[in-house]
Chain A
Amino acid sequence: MSAVTSPAPVESKKQAKHEASVLISKGARSRPLFDPEIVRRAIQESFLKLNPVKVAKNPVMFVVEVGAALTTIFVVKDAMAGAGGVFFGVQIAFWLWFTVIFANFAEAMAEARGKAQADALRKTKVDTVAHKVLPDGKYEMVPASKLRSGDVVYCEAGYVIPGDGEVIEGVASVDESVITGESAPVIRESGGDRSAVTGGTMVLSDHITIRITSNPGETFLDRMIALVEGAVRQKTPNEIALNILIAGLTLVFLLAVATLPTYSKYAIQAVGNGTAPTIAVLVSLLVCLIPTTIGGLLSAIGIAGMDRVMQHNVLAMSGKAVEASGDVNTLLLDKTGTITLGNRQAVEFLTVDGVSESELADAAQLSSLADETPEGRSIVVLAKEKYKLRGREVAARNAQFIPFSAYTRMSGVDLDGRHLRKGATGAIAQFVKESGGTVPQSLQEISDRISRNGGTPLAVADGSRILGVIHLKDIVKGGMKDRLASLRAMGIRSVMITGDNPLTAAAIAQEAGVDDFLAQATPQDKLEYIRKEQAQGRLVAMTGDGTNDAPALAQADVGVAMNTGTMAAKEAGNMVDLDSNPTKLIEIVAIGKQLLITRGSLTTFSIANDVAKYFAIIPAMFAAIYPELNKLNIMGLHSPQSAVLAAVIFNAVIIIALIPLALRGVQYKPVSAGQMLTRNLLIYGLGGIIVPFPGIWLIDKMLVAMHLA
C-alpha cells in the first residue's frame, strides 16, 4: 500500500544521516577552543597585527597604541635624562603594548579557527582534470580551472566533479563529504530538485553529464573558503553602530583626559604646590577609561559568531545574515520533515459495529506484513504493541500479497481463502460492495472524524466485511512543541507551511503548537505571506530547497537553502545548510541572538568597569596636588604608582580573561526579553561595576609583594 506514502523513506534516512553527520562534522569542524596549533598561529599574528595601519581600523585600539608609543617615547627620554620613575614608566608602557597585543590575540584566535578550516578545505581543492563534452559528442581532457559556465562535462564513478553544475543526464551517487562532512553518499539526478552538484565532490557510482554553472574562482567551494577564512568579512550594521558608540565614548574620554593637564596646572597654581600628572599616568587613565574590553573583543565576537554558525554546518553568506537571524520575528517552517516526521504512523484501530478491535488489528497486521513502507511497518508495530500480535510466518500459509496500485488504491493479502485489503476509504467500500457485502454507515463517520483531526483514515476489509479503520497520523517531532514554545518566549511566531487542506493543517498546527499556518500553500502564497509580514515591520526566516522556493528565499530576511536543494535555491538564500536539516533554522536564530547579546553584554561590562578605575586612578593622579582626594582611594591601594599600574594591568588582563566568553558567546536561554535583560544587566552591568574592585585590589597587593611598585 502506498495510498498515503510520501517520499518517506528518504526523509527517515535523512533523519538518521543527520544524526551521523552532526557527529562527523563536530569531529571534523570544531576544535577545542584553545587548540595548540591555533594558539601558536594566533600568538604570531597578534604581533604582526601591531602594524598601525591594521590597528587604525579599530579606533579604540588605535588610541591605545598611540598612547603606548607616546609613553614609550617619554620613558626613553626620561631614562636618557636620568630622571626618576623610569621603572614605573617602563612597566606602564609594557602593559599598554600588551593591551593592544591581547586585543590582537583575541581577533587572531577567532580568525585562526576559520583559517585552519579554510586550509583543510583548500587541501581538497586539488586541480582535477575534467572530461569536457564537445559538440560532436567527443571528450576533451581539460584542467578544471579552465572550465567556464555553460561547458558540459562527463563524470563517472571515481571522478571528482570538476565544478559546480547541474546534472543534465543520468543519475549517480555522490560523496559530498568535502562540503558537508557527511560520508554517506547522496543521489544526484537530472531534472527536479536534486540536480545540483558541487565542485570537489566525488561520483561514487554510475555516470552523469553535468552542465557547469560557475566560472573558476566563483565556485561554491571557493566561496566557502573565502567565507570561513573571513576574507570577505564585512562589518555588520549593528557592529558598525556599536563601533560608532564606542568610538564616541573614546572621544569623550579623550576629551576628559586631555583637559586634565590644564585643570591640574590651575590647581597647582591655586594651591601653590604639587606636580602635574605625567604622560604615563594620563595615558593610563585614558586607556583604562576608553572601552578597551569591547573594543578589543568586538571583531573576535563577530568572527566567532560566523564560526559558530559554521560549526552547525551552516554556511552563512554574510555576517549580516547571521545578525538578521537574531532579529527574526516570524519563522516559516515546512510541515513535512520540519515539524512532523516525514511519514505518518498508525496510532489506533477504530472498528465498525460488531467487530472486535483485535480482529481488526489482526487483519490490519496481516495485510501489512509485506508492506515495507513506514506506514505499513507502523501498522505491524502498533498491532504488536497494543494487541500483542506477533508477526507471523505467513509465507508457509500459502499467502499471496497484493501490492498497492494507483488504480485500485489498496493493497493486502489473500490467505487461507480470506481476502484482506486496506486502502483509501472509497476504494475499500467499492471492494466490499463488489464482494457482495454492505458498507456500514459508521465507516464514513469514522473516516471523516479522523480527517478532521488531521489524520489519514485507512479502511480495512475482510472480503465482504468492513472491519474498521486504521488511524494514520502525522507525528509531530519529539520536543517540537517545547521548541516552538521557547521560540514564542523569545517573541518569534512560527508559521507552518503545508500542502494539506486547511482542516488537516489546523489540527497539526494545534498539536505542534505553531502560531499560524498556511494550508495548501503554493510558492506564490509563501512569497505573499513573507511580503505581508515584512510590510508590518517583521523579519522573516524560512528554509527551502526547490527552485520554486527561490523567490521566497530571496525575499525572506533569512533564507536558508538546503544543500540537497537546487542551485537556484542556494543562490537565492543567504545561508546554506550543509546537513539539509530544516529544523536548524531554530538554532540559527539562537546563534544570531547570542552574537548580539555577547556584544551588548561586553559593552556594558566594559563601560561599567570604569567606575572602579576612576576610584583607583583619580586619587593617585591628584594626590600630589590635593592629598584630600585620597579619601576616594576606597580600595586602599598601596601607592599612587601601584594604583595606576594595577588599574592598567587589570584593564589588559580582563581582555585575555574574556576571550573564551567572546569566542563561545555568552550563555543564551530562550526566555523573554525582560528576563534576559534583567539577567544580563545583573551579570554584566552590576558585575562589571563590582568585579574590578577586588581585581585591582588583588593586583595591587601582588605588585607590592613582588616589589614592582
Chain B
Amino acid sequence: MRTIEATSLEVTGVELAFGNNKVLRGVNLAVPAGHTACVIGPSGSGKSTLLRAINRLLEPDAGDVLLGGESVLRGDADVLRRRIGMVFQHFNLFPHKSVLDNITLPLRKIKQLDIEAAQSAARAQLELVGLAHKAGARPGTLSGGQQQRVAIARALAMKPEVMLFDEATSALDPELVKGVLALMADLAQTGMTMVVVTHEMGFAREVADQVAFMDQGVVVESGVPEQIFTDADSPRLRQFLAQVL
C-alpha cells in the first residue's frame, strides 16, 4: 500500500448537545500525524458523535478541531470532509450503483476526474482491498466484509489525510471481522492518521498507538494500549474492561 502524507488531528474541548441532551462535554484528543487512536467506551458514551463532530457531520457547539494545526470549524464543511475519510458501521455503500461506480462517483463529481482517470483510480483502490474482481457487482450481492472493504476503498480513493472508523466491524458476522481488521491494520502501517471507534479490544491493543476511553461525553483516560489495558487509573475504565475482556 502506498504511504501517505499524514496530518495531525487535535480535538480540544469539543461540546455537542442534541437539545438538552449533552452528548459531548468537552472532549480532548490529540492524534499525531500517522498515529492510530482507538476510542473505546460503553454505548452512548459519545464515541460516534465525536467522529461526526470531527468531520462536521454534526457541528460542535463549543471547542475546536485542528487538522494539521489549523482550525477547521470556520471553513466550508464540504471541503473539510474531502480531507477526512469516514467508514461507517453499516457500510452505507450506494446500493443503486456498482462497486466501481460507488468509488468513481465522488472522484468524478467532487474531484472532477474524467471517467477514465476515475475508473483507473477506483480499480487500483479495489485491487488494494482485494476486490478488483467485484468491480461490476452491486453492493447488495457482496458479503458484509466485502462491502466494508469497498467502503474503505471508496474513502481511500479520495486520498484523505485522516480516516475515521465508526464501529466498522460491529455489523459483521464474526468470521468476516478478521479480514476488515487486517485491512485497517495494514492502513495504519502505511502511516495514515486514524481515529477508530471500536469494540475490538484485541485490535486496539495490537494496532493502536494510543487508546482513549470515553464515558458520558468525555475522554476519561487515554494512553498507550499497554497502560490502558493493564494499568488503568480510573475505576470506570477498570470496570468497563472487566465487562468486555
Q: Do A and B belong to a common assembly?
A: no
